[in-house]
Amino acid sequence: MSQDYYVGNGVYEYLVECEEKDKFYWTSGNLWLLVYGDERYAPKVLTVASESSLGNRTTDEERNAVRVAQRITEGTTVPVNFIRFDPEKDMDKVQYWEPGMKDIPEISSESLKKRLMLYGLKMNEIMAHKSINDKSSSPYHDWQRKNMGDSVVVADIDLVRYDESGPLEIIELKRSYIDIDKWEPYKQDYRNFILISKLARERNLDFYIVYNRRVKQPFYDDVSKLKIFEFDHRMQTYCHLLGYKSIDQFAKKTIKESK
């Protein structure tokens, strides 16, 4: 671990070592689950985006991510697609797949834009800004901000909790140096939260925001105490505090079970 900057995630690091690890799913490395929504924050497509050399065989991680995306959207009107981009090349070509396609052809970035527009995403030329917590960068994410504009809402899915029947909870992970008792979800992020909430409720899943404090000296995530918020776009007050849990309590029971 670097002494001057901590690049891990304490929640993921705990979960991967705990007995309940198989009850959770999250992407890692250069793989993302991205929800795209319109100007009314209605989810239009759930995309698995992968940063990998074009032409490679699909990996177990990519196939699993697509399966998870399909489970999340099962029974909803939200489709799933897959986009692979090469980190070493410009975004002039990508690989693209959606259900019904037998292979994963290469298409131009302009064709990709047109395909995304077919889902009902109205793109404009006003370059979207990074969210206040967005420190990641890749050719695809840069292309996304430049070409989709600010009328398309994009949100990452951080964590999904399962049981034998399928997905139960979608969980947004937040962290900063702000004291845990003082931190509140940023209003600037609400449109992303509304988008995820709409996807979750269409599938009858719960959506929560989980916060932990990041410590500066030494740099690490303090996950001994988590602050839990429920977010539901159908309520007059979208977001409300449920309370605090230890990471062990969080891992062992669903948030609804432990209310």
Residue 141's pLDDT is 86
Q: Structural domain of residue 108, as residue ranges?
A: 28-155
How far apart CA 18 and CA 38 sit, in angstroms, is: 38
User: Which pLDDT belongs to residue 7?
Assistant: 53
Same domain, 78 and 60: yes
**Residue 4 belongs to some domain of the structure:** no
Q: Edge-to-edge, what's the strand order for the sheet holding 106-108?
A: 106-108, 93-97, 80-85, 43-51, 31-37, 153-156
Residues 148 and 164 in one domain: no
The answer to whether residue 11 is domain-embedded is no
- pLDDT the model gives residue 236: 95
- Same domain as 173, residue 144: no
Specify the pLDDT at position 138. 82
pLDDT block averages, 10 residues each, the chain of length 259 = 52 96 93 96 97 93 97 97 91 95 95 95 65 60 85 95 95 96 96 98 97 91 97 97 97 88
Q: Does 138 lie in the same domain as 214?
A: no
Give the whole-angstrom CA distance, residue 190 versus residue 112.
Answer: 27
Amino acid letter for position 95: Q
176 in the same domain as 132: no
Is residue 148 domain-shared with residue 167, that is, in the same domain? no
| 186 located within any domain | yes
Q: Verify that 123 and 173 share a domain, yes or no.
A: no
Task: Tell whether 183 and 207 lie within a shared domain.
Answer: yes
Pairwise CA distance, residues 168 & 171, whole Å: 10
Domain end (from 106, 132, 155): 155
Q: What is the pLDDT of residue 1?
A: 28
Domains: count for the chain: 2
Domain end, chosen from 155, 170, 197, is at: 155
Q: What is the pTM of this model?
A: 0.92
Q: Answer with the one of 120, 155, 190 that is the final residue of a domain.
A: 155
DSSP codes of every residue in the chain:
--SS---S-HHHHHHTTSTTGGGEE---SSEEEEEEE-TT--EEEEEEEEES-TTPPPPHHHHHHHHHHHHHHTTSS--EEEEEE-TTS-TTEEEEE-TT-SS--EEEHHHHHHHHHTTT----SSPPPPPTT-----HHHHHHHHHHGGGSEEEE--EEEEETTEEEEEEEEEEESS-TTT----GGGHHHHHHHHHHHHHTT-EEEEEEEEEETTTTEEEEEEEEEEEE-TTSSS-EEEEEEE-HHHHHHS-TTTT-
Q: What is the per-residue pLDDT for 257?
A: 87
